[in-house]
Structure 1
Amino acid sequence: MFHTDSDTEVVLASFAEWGEKCLHKFNGMWAFAIWNHTKQQLFLARDRFGKKPLFYSFVKDDNGGEKLVFASEMKAIYPFLQEVKPSKKFHTLSNIVHIFDYEHTSDTLIDGIYRFPYAHYAFYSLGDMHIKPIRYYTILDYLITPIPSYQESVEKFRALFLDSVKLRMRSDVSIGTALSGGLDSSATICAMAYLGKNDVRKDWQHAVVACFKDTPLDESGYAKKVVDHIGIKGIFVEIEPIKHWDKIYEYFYLFEDLYITSPVPMIAAYGAIKQKGVSVTLDGHGADELFSGYGHLIEALWDSKFNPAMAFDVLTTLNQTRMPTSSAFALGKEAFMYYVKKTIKHLIKYKMPISQDSNHPNFQGLDYFSQQLYLIFSETILPTLLRNYDRYSMINSVEIRMPFMDHRLVEFVFSLPFSYKLGKGYTKKLIRDALCPFMPPEVVWRKSKIGFNSPIIQWIQRNKAQGGLREWFLDTTHSKDFVECPLIENAVEIQNTVAHIIQSQKDTFNVGEHLWCKINPYLWYKSLDHAVSF
């Protein structure tokens, strides 16, 4: 018999009944520890996909031995370390080429602190000098067969998604969403509206939209169509960096890590959500990695190479999702070169493992496009984004729930062929066909994708009077502190890039992204100096 309504009591009772097998009965996100007083043994576990963090370290105890310290944040472990200093791998991990590569590993940016892996558990006994995580879950063990028809898959996906949203709408507090105006976040709030329209008790009508006025990253117009369609009033928050920049070192201390864009807009957006009295959001994370990737559409050509109509459909979809689109000649040349490179690798039997699970028999059964998606879902992009959004939200005491990442839905989607995921000029074909009855057509059939990032280029080009950060970037990159920072590798190159961006009006987002990654280490390093004051 349960004595409370707490999920903590359910978890404890489940562990008492089933031991580590209880993890397979949970649907959601978690990182927890259970101490078995009788056995003098600690049980540690993280959820299937790594939505919630867990860190640990072995530190000196009062008797000269070592003890285990663990926490959901690295900063909670800092007081136990003899010295808080960058990892010996810092320069590699912070490089833009590798910045998505370490979240699924035990590596962290702090020397002596390790990340407990997601989809793992471990038993730790007093006196042990190490932890041995045991993997309890992989998507590949739960793929379905036989594959239903496309129309059956549309109906199955719709049912799974709506049930996932329904489960995640369970709450004793107000719930809402961070709405971008893109397909994924719009699908989430529209499903909430569909499920909540007949339940007046549900307080879900809170959609916060981050706005970037007069920049290429502003999607507020699409978000407005969504809130109008479902009949709620959106909360539109203009992201003004100058209002937050005096807290940039504090933000880096709270964020703890590095990423390709500034954390300011995301922290500000979830701060606005919290100010409106919302403590739980349902957001659209995971759909990109399940269905389309980031520039990975061309990989589907290898799966369609013996079917000209299908290959043409892949190329058409690839081209129509680009802004600007390519000419027929340029697209044909790109496809030809892709086939040539892949054929040569095939002929010389060049095999580089795509994933750490490449040898799993069910991985070999995935089509090539789905193998690429599996990599970014399980090992690179998505684990990094999950880490980021957990920090952005929890800094503001907001919990993010993710309907697209219900394990039942994930297993179903990875079982499907690539042709169910793209085609006829559209990515995420299955999502669009399944959820179009609940959504405004302008968003369902929208092809452009922007993403939630910082308009760094515009921020640098605008001066303080215009609400920009030109003076800050100039002053900071030319300061003695910056030039002498041990984590900055080429201060002069960074200074020249800032000057070039200010003078040019043609720089792309990628230029700002690369610059931010070069400045990142300094801000992170300075945040450690400010740790005590926070």
Structure 2
Amino acid sequence: MCGIAGIFDLHGERSINRILLAHMNERQHHRGPDETGLHLEPGLGLAHKRLSIIDLAAGQQPLFNEDGSVVVVFNGEIYNFQQLVPELTARGHVFRTHCDTEVIVHAWEEWGEACVERLRGMFAFALWDRNRRTLFLARDRFGVKPLFYALLPDGQFLFGSELKVLTAHPRLPRVLDPLAVEEYFAYGYIPEPRTIYRDAFKLPPGHTLTLRRGEPLPGPRQYWDIPFRPVGRLSLADAQQELVHRLREAVGIRLMAEVPLGAFLSGGVDSSAVVAMMASLSPEPVNTCSIAFRDPAFDEASFAQQVAQRYGTRHHVETVDTDDFSLIDTLAALYDEPFADSSALPTYRVCELAKRHVTVALSGDGGDESFAGYRRYRWHLYEERLRSLMPAGLRQPLFGLLSRFYPKLDWAPKVLRAKSTFEALARDTVAGYFHGVSVLGDPLRNRLFSTRFKRELQGYQAVEVLRRHDARAPQDDPVSRVQYLDMKTYLVGDINTKVDRASMAHALEVREPLLDHVFMEWVSGLPRSLKLHGRQGKYVFKKAMEPYLPHEVLYRPKMGFAVPLARWFRGPLKERVREAVLGERLGDTGWFDMAFLCEMVDEHMSGRRDHSAALWSVLMFEAFLRLKEAGVDAFERDGRLATASAGGR
């Protein structure tokens, strides 16, 4: 795994400042501490940080074709490169290495922009073709690997694996985007294609970007989408057998490495299934890594231990104190923009543990989205059935009235917490689902933001992110539709972002077999009854794994990778919350209603309401602002603010 960076002059061939390019690249040193590579020519600079995984001796980047006219910098793994090599060799291409990077160069020469359709893996890369005067950028289908870009006012195009690569350039405007702030407080992350900065963007998953010198910057082009194409009639027994075969194949192609390899093992269904398949394919005991918590309410270590014992893995466990909140500032710096998934804390710790034993780890990410494992899918289906029984003209005012008068009972059992359900039923399908997944729903955000900030939004609402994707959803089935929405938003913006930054902070590569696009294409086409069967999510997946995993691992209640925020904010973090949420930094923005923030803190501290998720979002936003204010860049401090034309090769 690696980090990439670059500067491209879209208008001409002005010299690229080598010192600046190296500085941008060094900001992501953690992504590739093994080697550094730079290539500069008129109007172009490419940079690379390498974490060596395959062909340790000859896989250096930037990597060129035979005559040096095509060059690539690449972050990721191409799992089918060994199948592509003989096909490309037969067409006359000459390979000088045994690494997957070289396949990209020759695939581009052979198939042009369609080369990405032949690649199976996780990737973000930038390729320069001197003869065609073309810079080609691509990101994998599920956005496992990140890719950021920006166009400066003077026509220089920047790109990098992390946002900090772009902000290292002194000419990038650091103006915050109000629409991104609205989206952040709704989702807890900033969905593609926005970033927190108005002039920087994320290349969406399954998209490419083709730049040609002398032409305007085009928009990204989509080359793949999740098909949800029905697989046809399939019995439960046949589906189980096919699933195991396909999962074993997806795991098997990810065991290729010349460095120590292992797996995360949380004790949940997804990671346990991956470990079971690994054990059946590996001649040596599998290395597994788990985090244990002292608080039994959050601890799954005993279930992980059962799977480890069953397969004789080399099992590594580290116990983490549930008051492990020392990473708040570390996380704010790691993600470069506000990020409010509190499970980033234990994710960081399990990556830290894994790196002590392996360089590559397989994970179980993607199982809930593909097999309808989240409880919210079941609740959404119930709500959709109720919506279908009543016309909108009657349903919306009726449930709107009920939601206004029904008390908010955070402390009560879920069956009595009907206020949120009434609020969702008063909305249409997309808005109702948005209400269920929002960290701060519309009413809370309406109170959180100041009148001034609402004017800056000009009526924009974060639900438009889901509406944009829903318009392209390939299925009318209510569960498939919200699975699609999660795959386009939550999976990419939250799950994959969290794992990428946490793992790369420790120079650890993580591979996700359940996000293999060939596997996911098949799974997406399974009928809903094989995914959500009555109250049971992941139905066919769990049935298929019954011969491989203990019953209590498969059918116990889902726990998640949670931390006790509510207790923290009423205890050890009480003063920090008050200082951050009610301090001058947020007030000085003019974007927040400080009286409401004070009310929210008081309600939470007194125990009257649970505002832990909202307060965590505000806390992480304040931490981002604090680091942004303090972040006088080293390049600026050193006085080397030379323009891009003042450098040289």
TM-score band, normalised by the shorter chain? 0.7 to 0.9
The Cα shift of 1:495 comes to 4.5
Query: How many residue pairs are counted as aligned between the two chains?
Result: 477
Describe the SS at the equivalent of 1:438: coil
The Cα shift of 1:9 comes to 0.8
CA contact (8 A) 2:149 2:203 kept: yes
Shift of the 217–432 alpha-carbon distance from structure 1 to 2, 3 Å rule, reads: same
CA contact (8 A) 2:580 2:622 kept: no
> Are residues 1:91 and 2:173 paired?
no
Please tell me the residue identity of whatever aligns with 2:304.
Answer: A
Per the alignment, residue 367 of structure 2 pairs with 287
Per the alignment, residue 186 of structure 1 pairs with 272
Per the alignment, residue 203 of structure 2 pairs with 116
Shift of the 484–355 alpha-carbon distance from structure 1 to 2, 3 Å rule, reads: closer
Matches within 5 A, 1:58-77: 58-60=151-153, 65-77=154-166
Q: Identity over the aligned pairs, expressed in percent?
A: 25
Q: Can you list the C-alpha shifts for 1:369-394, whole angstroms capped at 9, x where unaligned?
A: 21221111123444432122211111
Structure 2 stretches lacking a partner, 5+ long: 1-93, 387-411, 433-463, 635-649
Query: Which of 74, 88, 103 is the equivalent residue of 2:191?
Result: 103
CA contact (8 A) 2:340 2:617 kept: yes
Describe the SS at the equivalent of 1:260: coil
The Cα shift of 1:339 comes to 12
Per the alignment, residue 252 of structure 1 pairs with 332
> Are residues 1:239 and 2:320 paired?
yes
Describe the SS at the equivalent of 1:13: helix
> Are residues 1:484 and 2:591 paired?
no
The Cα shift of 1:338 comes to 6.9
Per the alignment, residue 408 of structure 2 pairs with none
Query: Which of 562, 574, 577 is the equivalent residue of 1:470?
Result: 574
CA contact (8 A) 2:293 2:322 kept: no
Matches within 5 A, 1:239-388: 239-240=320-321, 245=326, 248-262=328-342, 263-274=344-355, 276-292=356-372, 293-300=374-381, 326=415, 356=468, 363-364=474-475, 366-388=476-498
The Cα shift of 1:56 comes to 0.9
CA contact (8 A) 2:378 2:535 kept: no
How many angstroms apart in 2 are the aligned matches of 1:487 and 1:265?
A: 33
Per the alignment, residue 457 of structure 1 pairs with 566
Describe the SS at the equivalent of 1:70: strand
CA contact (8 A) 1:44 1:122 kept: yes
> Are residues 1:47 and 2:140 paired?
yes
The Cα shift of 1:91 comes to 3.1
The Cα shift of 1:532 comes to 4.2
Per the alignment, residue 319 of structure 1 pairs with none
Matches within 5 A, 1:413-452: 413-423=523-533, 425-446=535-556, 448-452=557-561
Give the root-mean-square deviation of aligned CA atoms: 3.3
Please tell me the residue identity of whatever aligns with 2:631.
Answer: A
Shift of the 407–339 alpha-carbon distance from structure 1 to 2, 3 Å rule, reads: same
The Cα shift of 1:287 comes to 1.0
How many angstroms apart in 1 are the aligned matches of 2:602 and 2:471?
A: 49
How many angstroms apart in 1 are the aligned matches of 2:489 and 2:507?
A: 27
CA contact (8 A) 1:487 1:522 kept: no
CA contact (8 A) 1:215 1:455 kept: no
Shift of the 341–256 alpha-carbon distance from structure 1 to 2, 3 Å rule, reads: closer
Per the alignment, residue 312 of structure 1 pairs with none
Per the alignment, residue 52 of structure 2 pairs with none
CA contact (8 A) 1:253 1:531 kept: no
Matches within 5 A, 1:509-520: 511-520=611-620
Describe the SS at the equivalent of 1:2: coil
Q: Can you list the C-alpha shifts for 1:181-211, whole angstroms capped at 9, x where unaligned?
A: 2211221222222222xx13xx73132x223
Shift of the 175–4 alpha-carbon distance from structure 1 to 2, 3 Å rule, reads: same
Please tell me the residue identity of whatever aligns with 1:363.
Answer: P
Mean CA deviation greater in 435-444 or 210-219 = 210-219
The Cα shift of 1:355 comes to 5.6
Shift of the 442–258 alpha-carbon distance from structure 1 to 2, 3 Å rule, reads: same
Per the alignment, residue 522 of structure 1 pairs with 622
> Are residues 1:19 and 2:128 paired?
no
CA contact (8 A) 1:212 1:239 kept: yes
Describe the SS at the equivalent of 2:522: helix
Describe the SS at the equivalent of 2:561: coil
Describe the SS at the equivalent of 1:238: strand
How many angstroms apart in 1 are the aligned matches of 2:206 and 2:234?
A: 28
Matches within 5 A, 1:387-398: 387-398=497-508
Shift of the 376–243 alpha-carbon distance from structure 1 to 2, 3 Å rule, reads: closer
The Cα shift of 1:340 comes to 12
CA contact (8 A) 2:329 2:623 kept: yes
The Cα shift of 1:400 comes to 1.4
Per the alignment, residue 48 of structure 2 pairs with none
Q: Can you list the C-alpha shifts for 1:109-156, whole angstroms capped at 9, x where unaligned?
A: 01211111211112211233313221111122x725423222211111
How many angstroms apart in 2 are the aligned matches of 1:471 and 1:357?
A: 41
How many angstroms apart in 2 are the aligned matches of 1:216 and 1:501?
A: 21
Describe the SS at the equivalent of 1:437: coil
Mean CA deviation greater in 233-242 or 42-51 = 233-242
CA contact (8 A) 2:276 2:311 kept: yes
CA contact (8 A) 1:30 1:51 kept: yes
> Are residues 1:128 and 2:232 paired?
no
CA contact (8 A) 1:206 1:278 kept: no
Describe the SS at the equivalent of 2:152: strand
How many angstroms apart in 2 are the aligned matches of 1:484 and 1:355?
A: 32
Describe the SS at the equivalent of 2:483: helix
Query: Which of 498, 501, 510 is the equivalent residue of 1:400?
Result: 510
Shift of the 339–190 alpha-carbon distance from structure 1 to 2, 3 Å rule, reads: farther
